[in-house]
Amino acid sequence: MSPQTPLDFNSGPMVWIDCEMTGLDPRRDKILEIAVLITNGNLELVDERGLQFVIGTDKAVLNSMDEWCRTQHGKSGLTQACMTSPHTREYVAKAVLEYIKKWVPQKRTAVLAGNSVHADRSFLVEEMPEVIDWLHYRWYPNSQTPKDAKAGKHRASDDIMDSIQELSWYRQNIFVQPVSREIR
């Protein structure tokens, strides 16, 4: 597959999205960072760089985060990045949708994917509904899979790469063709 070729339904496109938020309540909390990677059905990236934005966020909003978010996002550098980012939520929503449409030009062709994507999806419904309207959504509950030592950084691109590795593990260990046994 040429990296310049948009994906159609038969390519099995998956749009991997991960968001970092100010908390877990999509009606009150806000998206701080979003990353998007797109793969075909074989989990091959169509664009190695993907797309990532930190959203400019008022200090008052950042100060209202709970202790876990203040600590985690402060440690990772996300809080500071939000205070200096020039990108508005509206700009980011438009850029994300344009990026997805570049690689998946047909609506409802790609599946929304990611680790804990059900939580990210609830925020996208509130803040970037046009992105959700473009995609399909399926969710499979987490199970115990091996984790990379660098997992859990809680940065959007790292979380997507963890999710792609997790699905690859599922495909190799769970979603496998049964061995055919002849009954005598």
Task: Choose among 143, 124, 144: nearest CA to 134.
Answer: 124
Q: Is 91 a catalytic residue?
A: no
The C-alpha angle 24, 54, 148, rounded to 5 degrees, equals 70
DSSP one-letter string for 100-120: HHHH--STT-SEEE-TTHHHH
Catalytic residue, chosen from 99, 137, 140, 170, is: 137
Q: Which residue numbers are catalytic?
A: 137
